[in-house]
Amino acid sequence: MSERKLNTSVDLTGDNLLSNIIRFALPVMLSSFLEMLFNAADTIIVGKFAGSDCLAAVGSTGSLFFLLVSLFNGLSVGANVLLSRYVGMRDDEKLSTAVHTSYYMAIVSGLLMSVLGVVLARPMLQLMGTPDSILPLSTRYMVICFAGCIVMVIYNFGSAILRSKGDTKRPLKYLTIAGILNVVLNMIFVIVFHLNVVGVALATVISRALSAWLVTNTLMHENDATHLDLRKLRMDKQMVLEMMRIGIPAGFQGMMFALSNVVMQSSINSFNSADVIAGNSAGANIENFVYIGMGAFTQAVVTFTSANIGAEKYDRVKKILIMCLELGVFMCLATALIVTTFGPFFLNFYTDSPTVLQYGQIRLRSVAIWLFLNAILDIVVGSLRGMGSSTLPTLLMLFGITGIRVGWLVFVFPHMRSLEMVLIVFPLSWFFTSIMEIILWFREYRTRFKNA
């Protein structure tokens, strides 16, 4: 092993565990907040300057886009787990190999996702029952976004490499720069050149390309084992298999969430009302701010758990989970209280339509306040992935999330058709799936760390 020390911001295996988790998570939360803010700015600009049809067109594509990118993003989770483990083991040789394998996978999977997305965009939107009035707009937006997917995947893998060694500050900086560019380009393309959804999509791709270049350039100038040399890009078979063992189930889990959301979006589309779609989209956009805390502490539990297992500090696995759960649930409840209390104020940024505002408030009241259940679910599953268990949590997700949601929408919703009856399935599925995943966590913990 090399004597060079990793350029880390946070010591993943050191003392002061709570302090280190918070220091790791804060930049991630701020990154998520800025990303949500920039996405909200996109939606606000579209809603205010391009009209409700354009707002509905952009909003109706979110679940489909997430469906097609989830599998590939799951691979970055697998890379993060493996990289963090080598950081904990202080094995520079394996860490360097994993870095180059990860980047190779990012390029290949990003190209594949771009091709699949461009080809499948319109057929999938039609399958979802997207109203004819917004189908052409939605298709244009999706095709452009998918064409630029490769840069999004490269950024995700690059930031996963930095996070694996405790560096969450530089991804925050790069996201801030790219986000500001995104907002500026949106104003230019939509307000000045009147490109509506095409302008929003172009701004998104260009800003993502900048963030991908920034993180790649950083890794190419690192002086530790995470140094990236493009001439050394290759795939190590064993590492690829390990990343896929963890990453594919993680990606499949994301796809199941997205698939159930596609079915839910189809149910919302069945009202055949641009106002319902736009209101739900605006409410969901505000609701996304509640995910900030749970996302940060989910990343923290994965990274810290994997690194401490690599360092053979098995007694810390349960402590890491408990700390991340307490912090994640608290953040979730606090932000949910804010967005539900001030929902009408926030929704006014998106639209001037009273009808759209009404449906947006329904979304916030029905979903946002229950998101702490999703925080519990995500953090427990993140701990399982950090321990190296990925397939069983995914199978439980298949039953608990997709099964409950699809069953509800097929057998219950047709008899009680309202937006509230679509949205109530969110907290129901989170609650029952969380119970199953907690039971699995205790079983896995006892099996793996009996003497911890």
pLDDT in tens, 22-54: 999 999 888 888 877 777 677 777 777 777 777
- The residue among 91, 100, 86 whose CA lies nearest residue 306 is 86
Residue 308 pLDDT? 94
Across 417-432, average pLDDT:
90
For tokens 């399958």, name the residue: 127
Please, which contacts does 122-129 make with residues 24 or more away whose CB atoms are closer than 8 Å? Answer: 124/64, 124/67, 124/68, 125/60, 125/61, 125/64, 128/60, 128/64, 128/262, 128/265, 128/266, 128/269, 129/266, 129/269, 129/270
- How far apart are alpha carbons 207 and 106 in whole angstroms? 18
Across 173-189, average pLDDT:
90
Across 91-110, average pLDDT:
92
- Tell me the pLDDT band of 179, cut-offs 50, 70 and 90: confident
Distances (CA, A) of 179 to 35, 174, 186, 212: 7, 8, 10, 12
Higher pLDDT, 399 or 64: 399
Residue 2 pLDDT? 42
Q: Given a cut of 80, is residue 346 above it in pLDDT?
A: yes
From 120-129, 297-306, 356-365, 372-381, the region with the lowest mean pLDDT: 120-129
- The chain-wide mean pLDDT, for the chain, equals 86
The full set of domain ranges for the chain reads 17-447
Q: Given a cut of 90, is residue 321 above it in pLDDT?
A: yes
DSSP 6: P
DSSP 348-362: TTT---HHHHHHHHH
Tell me if 338 sits within 8 A of 287, measured CB to CB. Answer: no
- The residue among 296, 309, 385 whose CA lies nearest residue 76 is 385
Across 165-176, average pLDDT:
90
- Tell me the pLDDT band of 1, cut-offs 50, 70 and 90: very low
Alpha helices in 50-168 (DSSP H): 52-59, 62-89, 92-127, 135-147, 149-164
Across 189-195, average pLDDT:
86
| pLDDT 10s digits, 206-255 | 999 999 999 999 999 999 999 999 999 998 989 989 888 888 888 877 77
Whole-prediction pTM: 0.81
- How far apart are alpha carbons 203 and 181 in whole angstroms? 8
Q: What angle do CA 215, 221, 223 make, to 5 degrees?
A: 120
- How far apart are alpha carbons 157 and 209 in whole angstroms? 13
Residue 452 pLDDT? 55
Q: Give the chain's length.
A: 452
Q: Given a cut of 70, is residue 178 above it in pLDDT?
A: yes
- How far apart are alpha carbons 429 and 434 in whole angstroms? 8
Residue 377 pLDDT? 95
Q: Given a cut of 80, is residue 58 above it in pLDDT?
A: no
Higher pLDDT, 262 or 180: 180
216-244: b or e for each residue (b if 16 or more CB lie within 10 Å)?
bebbeebeebbebeeeebeebeebbebbb
Reduced to 3 DSSP states, what percent helix, strand and coil does the chain have, rounded to the nearest 5?
85, 0, 15
Q: Given a cut of 90, is residue 56 above it in pLDDT?
A: no
